[in-house]
Structure 1
Amino acid sequence: MRIRTLLATVTAGLAAATCLSAAGPANAQPGNACSPSVSLDRFSDALDKTTYEGTYVGNLSALAVDRDGSLAALSDRSALFGLDARTLAPESVVPLADESGAALDSEGLVIDRDGTRLITSETEPSIRRYSRDGAILDRLPVPAALQVAPAGRAVSNGTFEGLTLLPGGRTLLASMEYALSGDTSGAVRFQTWERHAKSWKPAEQYAYRPDTGLGVPEVQALPDGRLLVLERGFTSGVGNTVRLYLADPRHATDTSAVENLTGQPGVRLIGKTLLADIVSCPTLGATAKQPQPNPLLDNIEGMVVTGRSQGAWKVLLVSDDNQNAVQTTRFYYLRVRTTS
């Protein structure tokens, strides 16, 4: 998404266990460690400000592993790229559109077990199923409250950013980026759908509270049902804040019938544990085109789990450069350890 500028709103009263301070790279962990749970293997700017078959390779908002092992990278300007998983070289591009042929604000991506592409658009918001060649197959129903005002209570440019299939492939989960109007607790809604034959029906909904001033640009499921959740914000003149959390929705309250989330008792939020604040990662020689608390940072928006090695999850992140000269399309190769 074209990220909104946020003022620095993190208050001193936040507990250290919930929110790390935006310390500079001088506070980074030894070696390649970002934290005791996360390390950075390398980064790549290979696709920054490049084109493929006349299409700008940037504005990347989501990643997925395709069935042949290649990477799929979704641009929020209505394009889906196929990338070589090793070199990141583009191998294909498929244009996307809505039913009237209009462009999408395409943000979330899942490749289903039959190879179809489930893609969100923030505009309405919507989730559509596409064939490999970009033809629309159908569209999932979205609860009325999650639609952008005046149709619903969602804020413009703050809806379905993250999309993931839960273990077993029968439950789809989409994360809202920001809270609904009236949800004064600051929690965002995570909506699920259950697979019924060839269709998807809305199911349980959960509440997740990001750190003050941050939104949720991406979420990815792990095999045990827990989630990796990205939280992100931007402060003009300072730069980005990006944090990676481990979240557990398995004991959270179904909030689909809760009209307003106001911090009321009886609503159990999705529990979360900080894995790393990306500001504490080593720079590895990265440079930034605008002020950043760590030159490695940019507008990180996409995430995918690509495998497992030596007890750690291999996680790939990508930043959305917004086709802006002072931002970078950057891939980040992380190793993430999660406790059972």
Structure 2
Amino acid sequence: MRTRHVPRALAVGISCVLATSGLAAPVVAASPHANGDQVRFLGETTVAAGQLFQGTELGGFSGIDRDRRTGEWVLISDDRSDRQPARFYTARIDVDAAGVHDVRFTGTHPFRRPDGAPYPPASAGDGTTVDPEDIRVDPWTGQYWWSQEGNRPHGAPTPTDAVIQPSIQRADRTGAYAGSLPLPENYRITTEPRGPRRNLSLEAITFAAGGALVTSAVESPLLQDGPLPSPGSGELSRITVQDRTGHVVAQYAYPQEPLFAAPNPPGSFADSGISEILAHPTDPARYLVLERGFSTGHGYDVKLFEMSTRGATDVQHVDSLARTDVVPVRKRLLADFDRFPLPRMDNFEGMAWGPRLPTGERTLLVVSDDNFWPGENNRFVALAVR
């Protein structure tokens, strides 16, 4: 999701609370440098906004992954071809027990349509604009799988505000189109009040079970599944597990947190949702989930959860979560980013596993999307996770 350009303020601290009953108890931070016994803050660095690399503007980093073959990292920019064609970057990033150090970009390529052309901006009016959000390195082939949110028009479709379906595509390492993953029917944008909301669609993807499964998360509830989270109520979004052919193995209800603060002034912009999902390295039922919220007058709020699909209801054939009792996935709080020693809270949207530490912990690299907006940051945060 690209946050609207509205006035920003520093995020305020809020208490760590799981609002959904019946879930595992949260792990509460004991100090500013350690959130519970599973997550430690290692360090952070930023890439200055507005920098140019190979003729492109660096920024909008909404997804990141590490290529185990080369040790390099790949990052996706959520530029909708407004500045330069929709694209990804490769980089060398040093992550160790002392934190995250140099971020050295090594290449960039535009994503290409099946006809070989780069994706155009919406102003082209041909209905093929994409809204890139997440990227993963295929552990089997080394190709890049990437998600994009598509577009739900504000009203009646126009040439520059057309219906564009969300998608998960494959690209080779030069960005050339290599195929796509069929998505479940309830991920489709329709002319009826059903399917994903505008700019709250396919935000996150991850490989699970060693690459045999592709798991995706819808950022916020589908239109038929109920309202958006509010300060008094969390809501249910959907997480889908598919095999590599697109067959839906299962779909689960995910209990989102309530909006962390009412916007100020009342009625101004606020939203929240799943900004990233990451499979556990060995357990196909466990994931890390990053929830990110924004509220005018308060700024950003970011929390890291661990979730398990064991015992949850398969809702792939449930038409509306708003009218049905289902057992959602279980989750517990691992880290409240407000408790980390960060200069300010940012729009964290991407995360990926890094190298293992001598302690046996696994590093986790989290990156923020600056929205190409002055005052926001391309921040890289390194954590240690047991």
Partner of 1:212: 258
The alpha-carbon deviation at position 167 of structure 1 amounts to 1.9
In 1, are the aligned partners of 2:64 and 2:135 still within 8 Å (CA)?
yes
Q: How many residues align?
A: 308
The alpha-carbon deviation at position 28 of structure 1 amounts to 7.5
Output the amino acid matched with 2:320. Answer: N
Q: 2: distance between equivalents of 1:145 and 1:31?
A: 41
Alignment of 1:8-157 (within 5 A): 16-18=17-19, 29-30=30-31, 32-66=33-67, 67-77=69-79, 78-86=86-94, 87-99=102-114, 101-103=118-120, 104-112=130-138, 113-123=140-150, 124-150=165-191, 152-157=194-199
The alpha-carbon deviation at position 37 of structure 1 amounts to 2.9
Partner of 2:156: none
Instruction: Find the residue that maps to 2:338 and give its secondary structure.
Output: helix
Q: 1: distance between equivalents of 2:48 and 2:307?
A: 31
Partner of 1:22: none
In 1, are the aligned partners of 2:275 and 2:291 still within 8 Å (CA)?
yes
**TM-score, normalised relative to structure 1:** 0.84
Instruction: Find the residue that maps to 1:150 and give its secondary structure.
Output: coil
Would you say 1:275 and 2:334 are equivalent positions? yes
In 2, are the aligned partners of 1:300 and 1:317 still within 8 Å (CA)?
yes
Output the amino acid matched with 1:200. Answer: G
Could you tell which deviates more after superposition, 181-190 or 241-250?
181-190
Would you say 1:237 and 2:297 are equivalent positions? yes
Partner of 2:99: none
Q: 1: distance between equivalents of 2:383 and 2:64?
A: 14
1:169-208 CA distance string (max 9 Å, x none) = 111001100100121282111112213xxx4333311110
The alpha-carbon deviation at position 17 of structure 1 amounts to 4.3
Instruction: Find the residue that maps to 1:253 and give its secondary structure.
Output: coil
Instruction: Find the residue that maps to 2:103 and give its secondary structure.
Output: coil
In 1, are the aligned partners of 2:275 and 2:290 still within 8 Å (CA)?
yes
Q: Which of 270, 283, 287 is the aligned partner of 1:224? A: 283
Output the amino acid matched with 1:106. Answer: P
Q: 1: distance between equivalents of 2:39 and 2:16?
A: 21
Could you tell which deviates more after superposition, 298-307 or 38-47?
38-47
Would you say 1:246 and 2:306 are equivalent positions? yes
Instruction: Call closer, same or farther: CA 1:261–1:15 in 2, change over 3 Å.
Output: farther
The alpha-carbon deviation at position 158 of structure 1 amounts to 0.8
1:53-73 CA distance string (max 9 Å, x none) = 111111001011112110001
Q: Which of 371, 378, 386 is the aligned partner of 1:322? A: 371
Instruction: Call closer, same or farther: CA 1:45–1:271 in 2, change over 3 Å.
Output: same
Could you tell which deviates more after superposition, 248-257 or 96-105?
96-105
In 2, are the aligned partners of 1:110 and 1:163 still within 8 Å (CA)?
yes
Instruction: Call closer, same or farther: CA 1:166–1:263 in 2, change over 3 Å.
Output: farther
Would you say 1:160 and 2:202 are equivalent positions? yes
Alignment of 1:256-271 (within 5 A): 256-262=316-322, 264-265=324-325, 267-271=326-330
In 2, are the aligned partners of 1:183 and 1:262 still within 8 Å (CA)?
yes
Alignment of 1:290-305 (within 5 A): 295=344, 297-305=345-353
CA RMSD, Structure 1 to Structure 2 (Å): 2.3
Q: 2: distance between equivalents of 1:28 and 1:258?
A: 37
The alpha-carbon deviation at position 46 of structure 1 amounts to 3.1
In 2, are the aligned partners of 1:149 and 1:156 still within 8 Å (CA)?
no
Instruction: Call closer, same or farther: CA 1:15–1:88 in 2, change over 3 Å.
Output: closer
Alignment gaps of 5+ in structure 1: 7-13, 20-26, 287-294
